[in-house]
Amino acid sequence: MKTYQVDKQGYYGEFGGAYVPEILHQCVETLQNTYAAVLESETFRRDFDVLLRDYVGRPSPLYLSRRLSEKYGCKIYLKREDLNHTGAHKINNTIGQILLARHMGKKRIIAETGAGQHGVATATVCALMNMECIVYMGKTDVERQHANVQKMEMLGAKVVPVTSGNMTLKDATNEAIRDWCCHPADTYYIIGSTVGPHPYPDMVARLQSVISEEIKKQLLEQEGRDYPDYLIACVGGGSNAAGTIYHYLDDERVKIVLAEAGGHGIASGESAATIQLGKKGIIHGSRTLVMQNEDGQIEEPYSISAGLDYPGIGPIHANLSATRRATILAVDDEEALDAAFELTRLEGIIPALESAHALGALDKVTFKPEDVVVLTVSGRGDKDMETYIAHKNKTK
């Protein structure tokens, strides 16, 4: 049977794999040989499920948005990941990986972060599990995202500002990999999205797949059938989208729409629409689509949303695009901002700027009145209030 899931070698079609320095081969191989059995074991499932329920607050509601449905002429459900502890979907993944780290006897946790959201989610579970936590963050981002740095420090993490390159996410990632190379025996590297060398993309997708597992049950209860006509999610590295579509990947009745960040427009030179603008290359240990110049140098992406401006994309999503299983739409800054205000005024829900890109895709799809649409609200907008207020003042 044709499948869009990972194969035994860690590839999705021609994307994926594990391209890591020699010194990490052993580490990555151990992880490859360990993760699936642990994730499927009864003790892991039990610990994971209890924490998702009692600590994160799952299941997250599937909310029928009546006014949004009316506006777009179909039935729109919102999957409310914004209601999770720490305000987004990222905690699902960090809880799973820290349980795996503990199982593997690791004592020291490292992570990289751009906007700081993954850093906070990692520092949170390290506090919970009483583990040492070191977060690499570009110096530029440390200055831009001060509130998240303060949260990580309050949670007991050590935030290391990275001063190489542009001092942003890609440089922080390089530094985290360097650290892992130096401490392969006692250190576990928590990656925050469906990126990185195999097995990370598959592992993160599986940990986030609780989202589509719940959607199935909730739709069956509310609609009498366990699948929607459309699934819509935003993509940075691709983890909330992977979780949303995981159990529907091979069910072609379900159309998949992925919203990437158009920035100032995909032709503007200031964009983070990696799937549409990227070329095949290797980033972060994975063969995927990469924003790069003619010499293969990684290009700095741009988006108003800090969580979406990553120059790569998960290999799952690169393959979904190449095989046309998914429709990829670019949603520009302005469209996302308008969509955030629209949801806020229609439903009283202030979404994260990242999630606003998924909402901005609604306007670009032609729905039939009987269509059932599930859109994942990946996070809440508290962290984006300054941007929203600036936009409001500008458009007044």
Contacting positions for ligand PLP (CB under 6 A): 88, 90, 117, 193, 234-240, 307-308, 352, 354-355, 378-379
Closest contact distance (angstroms) between CB of 42 and ligand PLP is: 28
Q: Which is nearer to ligand PLP, 89 or 391 (CB)?
A: 89
Closest contact distance (angstroms) between CB of 90 and ligand PLP is: 6
Q: Which is nearer to ligand PLP, 28 or 261 (CB)?
A: 261
Q: Which is nearer to ligand PLP, 10 or 379 (CB)?
A: 379
41 is catalytic: no
Closest contact distance (angstroms) between CB of 298 and ligand PLP is: 18
Closest contact distance (angstroms) between CB of 246 and ligand PLP is: 13
65 is catalytic: no
Q: Which is nearer to ligand PLP, 74 or 152 (CB)?
A: 152
**Termini Cα distance of the chain:** 55
| Dihedral sign for Cα atoms in the order 292, 293, 299, 303 | negative
Angle ∠(252,90,86) on CA atoms, nearest 5: 135
Q: Which is nearer to ligand PLP, 90 or 287 (CB)?
A: 90
User: Closest Cα to residue 289, out of 297, 298, 280, 299?
Assistant: 280
Given the residues 75, 90, 106, 383, select the one marked as catalytic.
90
Closest contact distance (angstroms) between CB of 272 and ligand PLP is: 11
Given the residues 75, 81, 112, 383, select the one marked as catalytic.
112
How far apart are the C-alpha atoms of 226 and 247, rounded to whole Å?
11
Phi and psi based region of residue 320 (left: phi greater than 0; alpha: psi -120 to 50; beta: remaining): alpha
Burial class (CB in 10 A: 0-12, 13-18, 19+), 55: middle
Residue with the CB atom nearest ligand PLP in the bound state: 379
378 is catalytic: yes
Closest contact distance (angstroms) between CB of 305 and ligand PLP is: 8
Closest contact distance (angstroms) between CB of 321 and ligand PLP is: 14
Number of other CB atoms surrounding residue 49 within 10 Å: 12
Q: Which is nearer to ligand PLP, 77 or 103 (CB)?
A: 77
How far apart are the C-alpha atoms of 155 and 91, rounded to whole Å?
14
Q: How far, in Å, are 24, 93, 205 from residue 36 at the CA level? A: 19, 14, 12
How far apart are the C-alpha atoms of 146 and 169, rounded to whole Å?
15
Q: Which is nearer to ligand PLP, 309 or 338 (CB)?
A: 309
CB within 8 A of 36, min separation 6: which ones?
199
Given the residues 209, 303, 305, 378, select the one marked as catalytic.
378
User: Which tokens in the block code for residue 228?
Assistant: 């929607």
CB within 8 A of 389, min separation 6: which ones?
none
Q: How many residues does the structure list for the chain?
A: 396
179 φ, ψ (degrees, to nearest 5): -60, -45
How far apart are the C-alpha atoms of 135 and 183, rounded to whole Å?
15
Instruction: Provide the annotated active-site residues.
Output: 90, 112, 378
